[in-house]
Amino acid sequence: MPLSGIQIYKLLPQTNCRECGFPTCLAFAMKLAAKQAELSACPYVSEASKSQLAESAAPPMRLVTLKAAGGEVKVGNETVLFRHDKTFYNRPGLFLRVDDSLSAAEIQAKVAQAEAYKVAYVGMDLTLDGYAVTSTSGSPETFAVAVQAVRQSSRRPLLLDSRQPQVVAAGLQSLAGETPLICSADASNWEAMTSLAKQHPAALVVAAPTLDELADLTQKIKARGVEDLVLDPEAHTLGQWVSASTQLRRLALKKNFRPLGYPLIAFTGDDADPAREALFASQAVAKYAGFIVINHFTPASLYPLLVLRQNIYTDPQKPIQVQAGLYPVGDPKPGDPVLVTTNFSITYFSVANEIENAGRPAWLLVTDSEGMSVLTAWAAGKFDAARISKNFKEFGVADKVTSKRLVLPGHVAVISGELEEQLPGWEIRVGPREAVDIPAYMKQML
Ligand code: SF4
| pLDDT (tens digit per residue) in 182-212 | 999 999 999 999 999 999 999 999 999 999 9
Last residue of a domain, one of 267, 286, 312: 312
Q: Which numbered atom of ligand 1 lies nearest the CA of 25?
A: 1
Q: Is 431:410 a contact under the CB 8 Å cutoff?
A: yes
| Dist. CA 27–CA 9, nearest whole Å | 9
In angstroms, how far is CA 165 from the centroid of its own chain?
32
Distance 13 CA to ligand 1 centre (A): 7
Confirm whether 317 is domain-assigned.
Answer: no
Give 203's strand partners.
Answer: 181
Confirm whether 102 is domain-assigned.
Answer: yes
User: What mean pLDDT comes out for the span 167-181?
Assistant: 97
Distance 24 CA to ligand 1 centre (A): 7
Domain match, 22 and 127 both: no
Q: Which numbered atom of ligand 1 lies nearest the CA of 41?
A: 5
Quick one: pLDDT at residue 313? 95
Confirm whether 101 is domain-assigned.
Answer: yes
- Nearest one of 298, 237, 303 to 270, comparing CA atoms: 237
Domain match, 270 and 358 both: no
Confirm whether 230 is domain-assigned.
Answer: yes
Q: Would you say residue 60 has pLDDT above 90?
A: no
* Residue-wise DSSP of 79-130: --SSGGGS---SPPEEEEEEETTS-HHHHHHHHHHHHT--EEETTEEE---E
Distance 10 CA to ligand 1 centre (A): 12
| Dist. CA 321–CA 324, nearest whole Å | 9
| Dist. CA 173–CA 245, nearest whole Å | 33
Q: Which numbered atom of ligand 1 lies nearest the CA of 19?
A: 5
β-strands 124-126, 119-121 pairing = antiparallel
- Nearest one of 227, 216, 233 to 288, comparing CA atoms: 233
Identify the CATH number of the domain in which residue 86 sits: 3.20.20.20
Domain match, 240 and 346 both: no
Q: Would you say residue 419 has pLDDT above 90?
A: yes
| Dist. CA 296–CA 301, nearest whole Å | 9
Confirm whether 187 is domain-assigned.
Answer: yes
Domain match, 188 and 253 both: yes
Distance 58 CA to ligand 1 centre (A): 18
Q: Would you say residue 335 has pLDDT above 70?
A: yes
Q: Which numbered atom of ligand 1 lies nearest the CA of 12?
A: 8
Ligand 1 pocket, residue 66 CB under 6 Å: no
Tell me the HSE value of 110 on the side-chain side, using a 13 A CA sphere.
24
* Residue-wise DSSP of 366-402: EE--TT--HHHHHHTTSSSHHHHHHHHHHTTHHHH--
Q: From atom 1 of ligand 1, which residue's Cα is the shortest distance away?
A: 25
Percentage of residues in the chain having pLDDT higher than 90: 84
Q: Of 9, 10, 11, 16, which is best to mutate to test ligand 1, by the most ligand atoms within 8 angstroms of its C-beta?
A: 16
Distance 102 CA to ligand 1 centre (A): 59
Give 446's pLDDT tier (boundaries 50, 70, 90): low
Identify the CATH number of the domain in which residue 332 sits: 3.40.50.11600
Q: What is the pTM of this model?
A: 0.79
Give 265's pLDDT tier (boundaries 50, 70, 90): very high
| Dist. CA 271–CA 236, nearest whole Å | 8
Q: Would you say residue 344 has pLDDT above 90?
A: yes
Give 57's pLDDT tier (boundaries 50, 70, 90): low
Ligand 1 pocket, residue 124 CB under 6 Å: no
Last residue of a domain, one of 57, 75, 99: 57
Ligand 1 pocket, residue 23 CB under 6 Å: no
Structural domains of the chain, count: 3
Domain match, 232 and 106 both: yes
For 12, residues 6+ apart whose C-beta sits below 8 A from its C-beta are 25, 28, 29, 42, 45, 49
Alpha-helical segments (H) within 34-87: 47-57
Confirm whether 278 is domain-assigned.
Answer: yes
Distance 52 CA to ligand 1 centre (A): 17
Confirm whether 413 is domain-assigned.
Answer: yes
Give 435's strand partners.
Answer: none
Give 312's pLDDT tier (boundaries 50, 70, 90): very high
First to last CA, the chain: 69
Domain match, 142 and 280 both: yes
Quick one: pLDDT at residue 433? 95
Domain match, 292 and 330 both: no
Q: Of 8, 14, 18, 19, which is best to mutate to test ligand 1, by the most ligand atoms within 8 angstroms of its C-beta?
A: 19
Geometric angle at alpha carbon 237, from 233 and 238, rounded to 5°: 100
Between 308 and 59, name the one with better pLDDT: 308
Confirm whether 436 is domain-assigned.
Answer: yes
Ligand 1 pocket, residue 19 CB under 6 Å: yes
Identify the domain containing residue 273 by its residue range: 64-312
Q: Is 293:268 a contact under the CB 8 Å cutoff?
A: yes
Cβ atoms < 10 Å from Cβ of 66: 26
Domain match, 349 and 377 both: yes
Ligand 1 pocket, residue 18 CB under 6 Å: yes
Last residue of a domain, one of 277, 312, 347: 312
Domain match, 393 and 293 both: no
Distance 46 CA to ligand 1 centre (A): 12
β-strands 203-207, 229-232 pairing = parallel
Domain match, 270 and 333 both: no
Domain match, 49 and 105 both: no
Q: Tens digits of per-residue pLDDT, 277-304?
A: 999 999 999 999 999 999 999 999 899 9
Ligand 1 pocket, residue 22 CB under 6 Å: yes
Alpha-helical segments (H) within 254-317: 274-286, 299-312
Domain match, 256 and 224 both: yes
Identify the CATH number of the domain in which residue 39 sits: 1.10.15.40
Quick one: pLDDT at residue 32? 85
